[in-house]
Amino acid sequence: MTQAAEIGATGIGKQFGQFTALADITLTIARGEFLTLLGPSGSGKTTFLMVLSGFEAPSSGRLTLNGTDMTDLAAERRGFGMVFQGYALFPHMTAEENIAFPLKVQGRTAAEVKRRVDEMIGMVGLGGHGHKRPSGLSGGQQQRVALARALAYAPPVLLLDEPFSALDKNLRGQMQDEMRRLHRETGTTFVFVTHDQEEALALSSRVAIFDKGRLQQLAPPREVYERPANRFVAEFLGDINILPVKGGRIEGRAVQAPGATGDLAIRPEYMALALAQPEDGNAVAATLNDLTYLGAETRLSLVTSGGVPIVLHQQTSDLPAGLAPGASVWATWAPGHGFLL
């Protein structure tokens, strides 16, 4: 079986005429890693994946495969597996024939092809469906066939471009669990594209965040969420409260950011509501504007005395009884949960 590969990109740029789709992308994708490219629509994710695959040539920069230059290596010589948004299965072939196709192209013996197809059908949970054509399979099943076909010849790298975006939410969750298992079982290097923040955080060993063709941050999920490198990353990954700090003070009150001036960012789930000014710790005075009951959680909208909006996510069971819009409150946070942008 082929070994999982390491990929290096140095200074990758891509121009479409005057338009810069990628600018100076430098990163290393480790052997057997599950790397996700995350960013808004048009940020260059697909373009970067196409450059990795060899179907688009970069305008500048170099690519390596296991340390050897592959910048000018043709796509078919790279031999990466690919799964795209449309399933792109051969409609006239059964699931088994679709999966067998790349193996036959490689000239494997009939016995080998059969053994591998059976193995792949089992791996993606399609037992009993192998004889069906794509039109007889659900969207989720078709995407499993596409995954099995791409993984059948044990490619050194699997490239996936928003493979689940056409599936409904429940099915997506299932496919995500499946992806994690397939990644574990195959040990292949996975490069996965999504614009869905939760999907990226749930799946990846590391997340590469793209905006306007530039790499904004590359780090494990927890780090991009809790220690975003900049304001774009902080805001792209979910609700965040941003409080201006001047000389270590927020709205005149000292906080644990000695001498700092800038924007202090705190995730809503790391802030808490207090009815009285806490004796120590970080706090800012605010008025409660709105409460949204969400079951286990309640979402609170506040505005500070200085006019800065704040959102808190609180356990409903922890909220004081009788709390109503208009109340004077304090928003507090533990040291270490705020970070300067």
Spatial neighbors of 254 by CB under 8 A, at least 6 apart, are 248
Nearer to Mg ion, 37 or 245 (CB): 37
Binding at 39: pick from ligand ADP, Mg ion, none (beta carbon under 5-8 Å per type): ligand ADP
Backbone angles phi, psi at 42, to 5 degrees: 85, 10
Asked if 46 touches Mg ion (CB under 5 A), the answer is yes
Site string for ligand ADP, 46-75 (x = CB under 6 A): xx----------------------------
**Contact by Cβ (8 Å): 191, 35:** yes
What distances in angstroms separate CA 110 from CA 103, 113, 117, 219, one per listed residue?
Answer: 9, 5, 10, 44
Whichever of 46 and 186 has its CB closer to ligand ADP, that residue is 46
The beta-strand segments (E) located in 84-211 are 157-161, 189-194, 206-211
In the bound state with ligand ADP, the residue whose beta carbon lies nearer, of 172 and 214, is 214
Separation between Cα atoms, residue 185 and residue 188, nearest integer Å: 8
Minimum Å gap between C-beta 45 and ligand ADP is 4
The least CB distance from residue 45 to Mg ion, in Å, is: 5
Contact flag: residue 41 with ligand ADP (CB under 6 A): yes
The smaller minimum CB distance to ligand ADP, of residues 9 and 117, is found at 9
User: Binding pattern to ligand ADP, positions 3-22, x when CB under 6 A?
Assistant: -------------x--x-x-
293 binds, among ligand ADP, Mg ion, none (CB under 5 to 8 A by kind): none
Note whether 77 and 18 are within 8 A (CB): no
Q: Which two three-digit tokens encode residue 121?
A: 């059908």
